[in-house]
Amino acid sequence: MTKNMHFFSRNKYVKNRETWETFGLRGKQAMEFAALDLPILPGFIIDASVTAHLDHQDDMKRYLKNYIGKCESDTGKRFGDKENPLLVKVVISPNLAIVSYPTLHNFGLTDDTIPGFNQFVGEDFGYHEVLFLIKGYLQVEEKIAQLEERQKDAEKITSLIENLQKGMEKNDKAEKFKSLMEEYRRYLPEDFFSDAYTQLEIVLKSISKMLAIDELDDEDAALIVQPMVYGNYGKNSASGEFFTRNIVTGDKKLEGWFEQNRFNSIESEGKEIAKIEKPIFAELEKVAGIVEDHFKEIRSIRFTVENGKVWLIDQRPLMSKSVQADVKTLLDLYARKIISREELITAFKPDQLNEILHPVIDVKSTKSMERIDGGIAGAPGAAIGRIYFSTETLLDAYKSAQQKGEDTRLILCMPATFAEDVKAIEVSTGVLSAEGGYSAHASVVARQYGKVSLVNFDLKFRGKKKAQIGKVDLNEGDLVTLNVPHYGEPTIFLGEAQLIEPDPKQSGLLDFIDVVKKDVAAFHVRVNADKPRDAELARTFGAEGIGLCRTEHMFFQEERINVFREMIMSDNREERLKVLKKLKKMQQSDFYQIFKAMEGKEVTIRLLDAPLHEFLPHNDEQMKAFLDYLKTSGGKSMSQREVRERCDALAEFNPMLGHRGCRIAVSYPEIYEMQMEAIFEAAYKLISEGKKVAPEIMIPLIMNHNELKLIIYGKKIEGNTYRGLAQVEEQVRERLGAKPVDYKFGTMIELPVAALGAGEIARYAQFFSFGTNDLTQTTIGLSRDDYTSFMPDYTLFDILSGNPFQILDEHVKELISIAVRRGTLTRPGLTKGLCGEHGAVPSNIAFCMDAGLDYVSCSVYSVPIALLAVAQQNIERRRA
């Protein structure tokens, strides 16, 4: 028997860790705690190899006395002593965390020791603990009866336990408790209260019997016997619990509570731990440091102070801590060389960083709020705002709130969004839509601007100012809170919850990125950005340039949209050129600021891609604004009927595959010429100021090399001259008297035909950028905005394994691989990247690295996620 009993105390523990496998989960924790040389409660473990056979063990008292004697010397109490009795608890420690066994405390309370115990804690508490002891023993007997299928006996014991519990809750006076004790004596073994060791032996043998017949126990449950200490055992006593640091902010400061002269602090928020006596607080701080360094994470520790002496009860990991707290903890450990760089970088799943990058809900503030659960997470985070059902009404509300100094937090709520709605998404806190999904326009733009996006298919619109989700009505102007976690079910709360705002610097995110980038070598992460603010933030987040600057987004700003509409309405080239001069000034300012923000790093500018009809007036309010603009612009005059006719003429049945991208440049070359002039006027201006620039000109929607050759180098045919963009740059340079800047022409590979013809296209392209959203749509024939309506059926029958607009389809991957291989055969120095939200998904990044790409480009708030995924891939490959 002795070889199966294992004592532990401060710095006294079983050295052979193989033996720990017989100690159960809690037994292992106790041994690990003991090894840290901390003031833990001593105790001993009866290992799993014998716990189911104790009822046949002779002379158990002799063994118990030997090990309890060791506990007595540490605690200064004696088991069975009449004056100051030591009490013990028995903890059943299985290897299965799901197994639930009774809580067994206060063994050693006998007719002889109860009075002595009561002198310290009072009779009310003392007799209450006697009842708790009885209850624990009866719960073991109840379990035995259930396992042996003695139904009547089990029901009788269950009734006894329920009545005992009611008596414990209803009464709080010693007389009542003592009366219950006397009443329940007849249900206990005759000598249960006669002797402390007899009592302990009785309960250990009952537990052993229970384990022997329990099918869930495969002889893997150990028993832990430990002294009890009490936070109400004299004046200088307390109980409490603390975390080794703040679990939300990660600040290295104890967070917790304690209760003075109270048995325990469970279900109590007591006083702040910092208010406990200074010597005790200092000891707890030292404990926190040792525990955190050992387990390499934030831990929760329960403790008791008994007569001025600190005892640690247990410690455990935390599920409720924030990612920010984890990041700051591990950065601290890394700085002190307790963990390696690899351990720090591989400690997180890349998607976990979403929590640091976006606000999170303070759960306490939502307890009494009405809620609507469900939907698809388009862009994670939390957002509060008044809902508006159109871009126009939201922008009007925003202006009004600004003028009046009122709350400007607004949420755009629409069936779906389009290019003209970008300006509303930009000023909103979030988007609530009913169509699409993760890859819908609203979701993609929201991620780009760091906003929250939620798609709920149950959202139905009732007129212009009402909507409904299920039975819940939403009216324009209602205040709601969107909670869109990256993991878990999204929720709409009706009303205002409290938010915890992110701070990249204070959160430790920027320091973490600095460490991550040490494992990001040849393969880089760029950003999709068309605003200087986004470019600056992305650079802070570690982006190595801009992989996609969508120039069409620049024209949707309120002061520009009508100028662009005027250009579209022009009847001839001369009229268009006049309007394009106005637009060029705006574009030049944009590019100047973006180049400056990304000084020296590559900036890939995609020339106009969107179909022209997207820019035209779509409602009466937009029509009126455009007509009013025309009256004051000094340009051509048009009636409403003429504008509508022009809009109808430009409408397309399938605009995604219609007159857009490079096809507009073939028909109206002056548009791309204007953009090219604006780009290089900005570039040469910065160079004259001593700044470095690295422009990359992307021509979208190329089908074949003839298109690209025409647009870059121009052509003369049958008396017509098409001026190539290379010539435009030369003319700008000559006009400004500037020295040549190193720049590149390239294209976006977003059509299967372009991927297959990559070898020819690479003759004229110095870089490829794979636009995987459109490449996915054109390869597998699915609309990213419409497929979610029927995708559940496809998932149900395993027709598609997942969302192809999130995880790259195998055939899309094949086309990328073909294009890379054929393109590099033609041009060995070809630069290759992937732009779009596919580029922030770790599994896609692994493919891109394997396929020979040089970078991925994603939205601003996805840059840290992509960087971490790249670093983890490099570590994994190095290990392999």
Q: Is 282 exposed, middle or buried (0-12, 13-18, 19+ CB in 10 A)?
A: exposed
Q: What is the pLDDT of residue 263?
A: 64
Q: What is the CATH number of domain 522-552+589-611+672-879?
A: 3.20.20.60
What is the pairing mode between strands 472-475 and 376-379? unpaired
Residues of the chain with CATH 3.30.470.20: 238-321
Single out the catalytic residue among 835, 838, 848, 858.
Answer: 835
pLDDT of 225 higher than 70: yes
pLDDT for 795: 67
Distance CA 729, CA 466 (A): 52
pLDDT at residue 161, rounded to an integer: 94
511: left (phi over 0), alpha (psi -120 to 50) or beta: alpha
> Is 750 labeled as ligand-binding?
yes
- Under the banding of pLDDT at 50, 70 and 90, the label for residue 653 is confident
- Residue 83 backbone class (left: φ over 0; alpha: ψ -120 to 50; beta: rest): alpha
Location of each CATH 3.30.1490.20 domain in the chain: 2-227
Those residues whose C-beta lies under 8 Å from the C-beta of residue 740, and which sit 6 or more positions away, are 733
Q: Which fold has domain 2-227?
A: Dna Ligase; domain 1 (3.30.1490)
Q: Which residues contact 454 (CB under 8 A, 6 or more apart)?
A: 375, 376, 377, 378, 430, 431, 432, 433, 482, 484, 490, 492
d(CA 276, CA 794): 60
Domain(s) labelled CATH 3.50.30.10 in the chain stretch across 359-500
Worst-scoring range by mean pLDDT, 266-270, 525-529, 663-667? 266-270
Average confidence (pLDDT) over 599-621: 90
| 848 a catalytic residue | no
CA distance 869 to 516: 9
CA atoms within 13 A on the CB side of 401: 16
Query: Which residue shows structure tokens 């105790």?
Result: 43
From the list 659, 661, 760, the residue with the least C-alpha distance to 704 is: 760
Of 57-66, 193-202, 233-242, give the range with the top mean pLDDT.
193-202
**Residue 662: band (very low, low, confident or very high) from pLDDT cuts 50, 70, 90:** very high
pLDDT at 388 over 70: yes
pLDDT value, residue 265: 45
Q: How confident is the model at residue 788 (pLDDT cuts 50, 70, 90)?
A: low
Containing 719, the helix (H) or strand (E) segment is none
- Of the chain, the percentage scoring pLDDT greater than 70 comes to 98
Cα–Cα dist 590/596, whole Å: 10
**Tens digit of pLDDT for each residue in 496-521?**
998 877 788 889 999 999 999 999 98
H helix count then E strand count, the chain: 31, 35
Provide the β-strand partners of residue 7: 44
User: If you average pLDDT over every residue of the chain, what do you get?
Assistant: 91
End-to-end CA distance of the chain: 47
User: By three-state DSSP, how is residue 661 classified?
Assistant: coil
pLDDT higher than threshold 80 for residue 1? no
Confidence band for 786, pLDDT divided at 50, 70 and 90: confident
Residue 175 has pLDDT above 60, yes or no: yes
Residue 585 has a pLDDT of 94
Q: Is 774 flagged in the annotation as binding?
A: yes
Rounded Cα distance between 563 and 745, Å, is: 28
Does 102 score more than 90 pLDDT? no
Percent of the chain with pLDDT over 90: 71
What gap in Å lies between CA 393 and CA 387, rounded to an integer?
10
137-151, 336-350, 586-600, 635-649: least confidently modelled range? 635-649
Residue 855 pairs with which residues in a beta bridge? Answer: 524, 833
Coil, helix or strand for 845? Answer: helix
Q: How large is the average pLDDT for residues 114-121?
A: 94
DSSP per-residue codes, 42-57:
PEEEE-TTTGGGGGG-
* Phi, psi (deg, nearest 5) at residue 748: -95, 125
Which pLDDT score is estimated for 178? Answer: 93
Q: Which residue has the higher pLDDT, 303 or 618?
A: 303
Spatial CA neighbour of 371 closest among 486, 475, 491: 491
Residue 801, phi then psi, degrees to nearest 5: -80, -20
Q: Which residue has the tokens 């106009």?
A: 608
From the list 420, 425, 423, 424, the residue with the least C-alpha distance to 378 is 425
371, with CB counted inside 10 A (0-12, 13-18, 19+), is middle
Where does residue 352 rank: exposed (0-12), middle (13-18), buried (19+ CB within 10 A)? middle
> For 64, how many CA atoms within 13 A lie in the half-sphere containing its CB?
28
Residue type, 218: D
Catalytic residue among 6, 128, 441, 524: 441
Q: Tell me yes or no: is domain 359-500 CATH 3.50.30.10.
A: yes
C-alpha to C-alpha distance for 829 and 768, rounded to whole angstroms: 11
Pairing of strands 78-79, 831-835: unpaired
Tell the residue number behind the tokens 């304690």, with chain if given.
258
Neighbours of 321 (CB within 10 A): 20
Q: 800 near 794, Cβ under 8 Å?
A: yes
* Structure-block tokens of residue 860: 């601003």
Tokens of 533: 């603010």
Q: In CATH, which of 3.90.470.10, 3.30.470.20, 3.30.70.1070, 3.40.710.10 is domain 238-321? A: 3.30.470.20
Summarised one tens digit per residue, pLDDT across range 54-101 is: 877 778 888 999 999 999 988 999 999 999 999 999 999 998 766 678
With CA atoms as reference, report the closest residue to 579 among 660, 625, 634.
Answer: 634
Tell me if residue 705 is catalytic.
no
Query: Looking at residue 693, what DSSP letter applies?
Result: -
Residue 471, Cβ density class (10 Å: 0-12 exposed, 13-18 middle, ≥19 buried): exposed
**487 — pLDDT class (breaks 50, 70, 90):** low
Per the document, the length of the chain is: 880
Contact 164, 183 (CB under 8 A): no
CA pair distance 123, 817, nearest whole angstrom: 80
In the prediction, which pLDDT does 266 show? 47
The residue written with tokens 């459109």 in the block is 774
Q: Any alpha helices (H) in 192-298, and if so which ranges?
A: 196-213, 278-295
The boundaries of every CATH 3.20.20.60 domain in the chain are 522-552+589-611+672-879
Spatial separation of the C-alpha atoms in residues 839 and 856, rounded to whole Å:
5
In the predicted model, what is the mean pLDDT of residues 436-454?
84
Q: How far is CA 474 from CA 361, 406, 463, 729, in A?
A: 21, 21, 12, 53
371-373, strands of its sheet edge to edge: 371-373, 491-494, 479-484, 381-388, 410-414, 430-433, 452-455, 376-379
**264: confidence class by pLDDT, cuts 50, 70, 90:** low
Please tell me whether 771 is known to bind a ligand: yes
Q: For the chain, give the longest Cα–Cα distance.
A: 118
Average the pLDDT over 17-35 and give the result: 91
